[in-house]
Structure 1
Amino acid sequence: MAWSSAGVDRWVARSARMGATAGVTMFAAAAMLAGCSKSESPSTSATATDAAAASAPAQAAAAPVTKIKVGFSIATLNNAFFVGLKNGVERGAEKQGFDLVQTNANGDAQQQVNDTLNLLSQGVQAIVLNPIDSKAIIPAVEKANSMNVPVFMLDRGSDGGKVTSFVASDNVALGATGAKWIADQLSKRYGSPKGNVVDLIGLIGTTAATDREKGFSEEIAKYPDIKVVARQEGGFDQEKSLNAMTSILQKYPQIDAVFGANDDNTVGAEKAIDNAGRYKPLGDPGHIMVIGADGTAQALSAIRAGKQDATISQNPIGMSAKAMTFITDYEAKKDVPGNYAWPTYLIDKSNIDSDGVKQYGLWALEVKQ
């Protein structure tokens, strides 16, 4: 049987579809049925076939592995907690085999929208957002929706658009934990939950601040003899919280406790208390109790020094690495949770060196800023 050029072309096309090894097998079988041509010896034909078969695995091995391209926009890196989020995203992306493209909005909400649109223009297959402002980020989320790019929120959410999965601590519960801790401490001091409390709110416009304030306010309202003498925005910022607490201390001679929506708020408050000469050690009746959130290195040091009483720790490294596993699940068409609450852990001087805290993870010790 003679093979025309058209016949060979059809065979090549078919073998390409079936795979190189299968194609070689077909060709060998066809040659045996047709017989060898006068100008071709059996040994020559076998050698060519063997060579083609040997080259097929090498060609297959050389084929590039396509990685999932993931875009990540972080709000800022001026806070150790967000450095922890970045570290977790990077670790998670490496473990999942992603091609990660990152941007830092440096606290600028409009820049974050622009950064996200730029990531989308680069053909990312998933986008991870840590928003500065839950309303300002909506256009970026909606643009991703229109391009069928799944949106994964980390630590902070969006007030609009479709979000595939939102990974964060339960911030309402976190705020309530802070209020309950204060009530318990005031009960120990006075025999019942009563006293004057300062509430330093987080960065207004973020879901984390809104939810923590909701949890704190609803819980503290259960104790009618506890008076919240001042509510002021600390903005998740040490300097802003220092200035806010300085003014509050000048106005109120009697303050029993401070709730800081994060540990930058509490560090600022502690500096203001020191500057005003109002610091008293733990156990002193005049000690102003301070509780914050996140579990930063400064907070842990302040707890050991007796300047801060407690922190409700999160673990941004573990939290963000978990979010990256949901991208893998989504791409594999598995179900992913719309909301995933990462657990928190209350740390004070009594348990800071405990096995429980070690098992939960002192993430701040892994972060260099």
Structure 2
Amino acid sequence: MRSRAYALAAAALLTPLTGCDRGGDTDLGLALSTMNNPFFVGIKEGARAEARARGLKINITDAQNDPVQQVNQMETFTSQNVKAAVINPVDSDAAVPAVGVANRAKVPVISIDRGVNGGTVGSTIASDNVEGGRQAAKALAGALGGRGKVAFLEGRPGTSAARERAKGFESGIRTYPGIEVVARQPADFDHTKGMDVMANMLQAHRDITGVFAANDEMALGAAKTLGHRNVKIVAFDGTPDGVRAVRDGTLTATVAQQPRLLGKRAVEWAVRAAHGERLPDRVKVPVVLVTRGNAADFE
């Protein structure tokens, strides 16, 4: 009986969305915060591949980190009569009006990578950011031998991913009394801002020995600024550029997300939502620490 139940559940996930046909020619919408980042490109690729495998049409848009564009994009999705929409919020608060557009049109919404602080969202598909932050703290402390002065490059303020990674890192690093966080500042998950923020931190703290950056792009920017200084850098995302930097020694480690899997899961759960299934509030996708010893496995 159990195997039959599993088979029926799997079949339901592959069923076309004709049962909730709204009359349009687009099945799903995916509103990404940006595509100027390899991580979100990975989400796009995973979602597109899963939609193609299911025979679904998906409209994927780039908000260019502008929450107003996400409202417009959600309006486009509803005008296309999508059966479900997925949003990767530019900002967890500013995404509420975009979700409201879909709610009023009775289009089910799934959020991916970042939560939304309002409206009705069926489920949030995200990496285990808190656990990843803890892993990053442990890796950085290990590389420093449990002692040193550390800088923390935070992500984009207002995003759940930035808050959760900070929460995990802070709770993890507190268990190492020989390590002091002497500077912290947002760099908005951006490569160039990572360079600039790191430069500002160095002016005030020339004796920094370690850095945690809440994504690979900021970490790679910080690494450029640090040059040949003997500073240990731990990052977050596991993008191809980040993994290569770990392998060549530019970064000490990165906490790898699985963006293609996130994209795949988002489509899976959007289909479930379109079929009217009751969904869990959160679906966590595991993260993995990438070091020089295992980096080749992630390339």
Normalising by structure 2, report the TM-score: 0.88
Q: Which residue in the other structure is 1:41 paired with?
A: none
Please report how far the alpha carbon of residue 194 of structure 1 lies from its aligned counterpart in structure 2 after TM superposition.
Answer: 2.1
- What corresponds to 1:324 in structure 2? 267
Tell me, yes or no, if the aligned pair for 2:148 and 2:180 is still in contact at 8 Å. Answer: yes
Partner Cα distance (1:69, 1:258) in 2: 43
Query: Could you say which residue in structure 2 is the equivalent of 1:340?
Result: 283
Which one scores higher on RCO, CA 8 angstroms, separation ≥ 6?
A: 2
Q: CA deviation at 1:248?
A: 1.4
SS of corresponding position for 1:102: strand
SS in 1 for 2:197: helix
- Equivalent residue in structure 2 for 1:235, among 168, 188, 197: 188
Structure having the higher Rg: 1
Q: Match for 2:150 among 185, 190, 197?
A: 197
Q: Distance in 2 between matches of 1:200 and 1:97?
A: 41
Residue 115 (str. 1) matches residue 73 (str. 2): yes
Could you tell me which residue of structure 2 aligns to residue 298 of structure 1? 241
Number of aligned residues = 278
Rounded Cα–Cα distance in structure 2 between residues aligned with 1:350 and 1:102:
36
Q: CA deviation at 1:327?
A: 2.4
Distance of 1:136 and 1:253 partners within structure 2: 37
Q: Work out the CA distance in 1 between the residues paired with 2:295 and 2:172.
A: 25
Cα RMSD of the aligned pairs, angstroms, is 1.9
2:171 corresponding residue in structure 1: 218
Matches within 5 A, 1:1-369: 69-187=27-145, 193-274=146-227, 278-279=228-229, 287-353=230-296, 357=297, 362=298
Unaligned runs of 5+ in 2: 1-17
Paired with 2:217 and 2:69, the residues of 1 have a C-alpha distance of 24
Q: Is the 8 A contact 2:144 2:232 kept in 1?
A: no
**AA aligned opposite 1:72:** L
- Runs of 5+ unmatched residues, structure 1: 1-63, 188-192, 280-286
Counterpart AA for 1:227: E
CA–CA separation in structure 2 for the residues paired with 1:324 and 1:123: 16
More helix by share: 1
1:105–1:112 CA contact under 8 A, matched in 2: yes
Q: Does the residue aligned with 1:82 lie in a helix, a strand or coil?
A: helix
- Hey, what's the Cα distance between the residues in 1 that align with 2:179 and 2:248? 27
| CA offsets 1:193-238 (integer angstroms, 9 cap, x no match) | 2210010001112111111111111221232331101001121111
Q: Is the 8 A contact 1:96 1:328 kept in 2?
A: no
Q: Is the contact made by 2:109 and 2:270 (CA closer than 8 Å) also made in structure 1? A: no
